[in-house]
């Protein structure tokens, strides 16, 4: 799938934005959210431009699994694996998705309610 030139997360993935990466893998990257809703708030993002969970085909199943594994590793790296965390993929209008490039939110570092952000 081609990257979208107007997509902020494609630009971050392509190194066009100054970004402090938490993880840079072949297919997945992670970085801190610009507007954190918790002491730890990272975004785990595939390099490929996949608009939303609705666009995840079977070919991307491994990619989504990889995103969750990276999130788990970052939770450990940030020291919140024992205290706990939430993982969230917002999808579409009612889901509150603002950036149309699929991403997994990792939040933690405080006691979280059901809805964060
Ligand atoms: P959504 O509502 O789509 O699930 O979440 C989008 C998230 O991306 C928001 O939490 C927002 O703060 C974050 N975000 C938007 N633009 C940027 C950016 O340029 N850099 C970073 N690091 N985060 C961004
Ligand atoms: Zn994109």
What is the tens place of the pLDDT at every residue in 6-22? 999 999 999 999 999 99
pLDDT (tens digit per residue) in 62-104: 999 999 999 999 999 999 999 999 999 999 999 999 999 999 9
The total of structural domains in the chain comes to: 1
DSSP letters, 2-40, are PPPTT-HHHHHHTT-S---EEEE-SSEEEEE-SS-SSSE
Look at residue 44 and give its three-state secondary structure: strand
Kindly state if the Cβ of 7 falls inside 6 Å of ligand 1.
Answer: no
Q: How many residues are there in the chain?
A: 117
Q: In this structure, is residue 117 part of a structural domain? A: no
Look at residue 86 and give its three-state secondary structure: strand
| Closest ligand by atom to 5 CA | 2
pTM of the model: 0.94
At 42, which CATH number?
3.30.428.10
Question: Does residue 101 carry a catalytic annotation?
Answer: no
Kindly state if the Cβ of 16 falls inside 6 Å of ligand 1.
Answer: no
């Amino acid at each position: 799938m081609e990257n979208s030139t107007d997509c902020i997360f494609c630009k971050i993935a392509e190194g066009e934005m100054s970004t402090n990466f938490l993880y840079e893998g072949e297919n997945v990257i992670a970085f801190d959210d610009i507007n954190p809703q918790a002491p730890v708030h990272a975004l785990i993002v595939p390099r490929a431009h996949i608009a939303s969970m609705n666009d995840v085909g079977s070919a991307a199943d491994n990619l989504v699994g990889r995103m969750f594994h990276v999130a788990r590793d970052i939770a450990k790296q940030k020291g919140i694996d024992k205290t706990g965390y939430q993982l969230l993929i917002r999808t579409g209008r009612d889901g509150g998705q603002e950036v149309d490039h699929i991403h997994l939110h990792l939040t933690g570092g405080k006691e979280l309610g059901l809805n964060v952000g």
